[in-house]
Amino acid sequence: QKEVEQDPGPLSVPEGAIVSLNCTYSNSAFQYFMWYRQYSRKGPELLMYTYSSGNKEDGRFTAQVDKSSKYISLFIRDSQPSDSATYLCAMINTGTASKLTFGTGTRLQVTL
Amino acid sequence: DSGVTQTPKHLITATGQRVTLRCSPRSGDLSVYWYQQSLDQGLQFLIHYYNGEERAKGNILERFSAQQFPDLHSELNLSSLELGDSALYFCASSATGPEQYFGPGTRLTVT
């Protein structure tokens, strides 16, 4: 079983929809929870991160962490075709190392 | 543009050969990380250097090695290449916080 699980999709939504992307994890030592966006054949781009539990909002993006359920989410409001990409969750266990442990990524397609 | 640069963009080589991938971190970042992205394994951590010293290793093969130089650029050396080493190789850099900024990657094809 992988430490971080993420539905690979693809997820197809119409423009303007609210998108919900999720990851579950098994290692309770994870402290930082990151979301990256990756366009095809490009490097991952950091969208936002959260420390421990709680919510964080940045423009159209909201990240939520529920450590009790080992479940994290990224919500995208008013989705745009330019949001079409693969979204990767990643986590850091600062007790051992600063490496990122990634989910497999969810491919999102926002249609006109 | 993350500020992290990687060269070359593409590399095609034969099995058994050796290649070197290069990474320049963002200005002022002391940490460099290397990751491998393949279709079946996703993004996997390989190794972390901080100010010239190795800090952590992931599932990096013995055929792979890395170093970070005094000017903070890093090189990843891959030797005795196999078909299964074909992948995207990314480097990322960070300052003191948890944020890691990724370069554009090097696409390695082993034929």
pLDDT value at A89 more than 80: yes
Q: Which tokens in the block code for residue B95?
A: 């300052």
How much is the CA Rg of chain B, to the nearest whole Å?
13
Q: Across the interface, do B90 and A32 touch by the CB < 8 Å criterion?
A: no
CA B75 to mean position of chain CA atoms: 7
Q: Across the interface, do B48 and A103 touch by the CB < 8 Å criterion?
A: no
**By CA distance, what is B97's nearest residue in A?**
A98
Residue B96: what pLDDT? 87
Residue among B64, B15, B12, B42 nearest A44 (CA): B42
Of B31, B99, B103, the CB nearest to A43: B103
Candidates B26, B44, B102: best to mutate against A (most CBs of A within 10 A) is B102
Give the Cα separation of A100 and A4 in Å (integer).
Answer: 11
DSSP, collapsed to helix, strand or coil, labels residue B95 as coil
- pLDDT (tens digit per residue) in B33-90: 999 999 888 899 999 999 999 999 998 999 999 999 999 999 999 999 999 999 999 9
**By CA distance, what is B31's nearest residue in A?**
A98
Give the Cα separation of A38 and A43 in Å (integer).
Answer: 6
Candidates B6, B100, B109: best to mutate against A (most CBs of A within 10 A) is B100
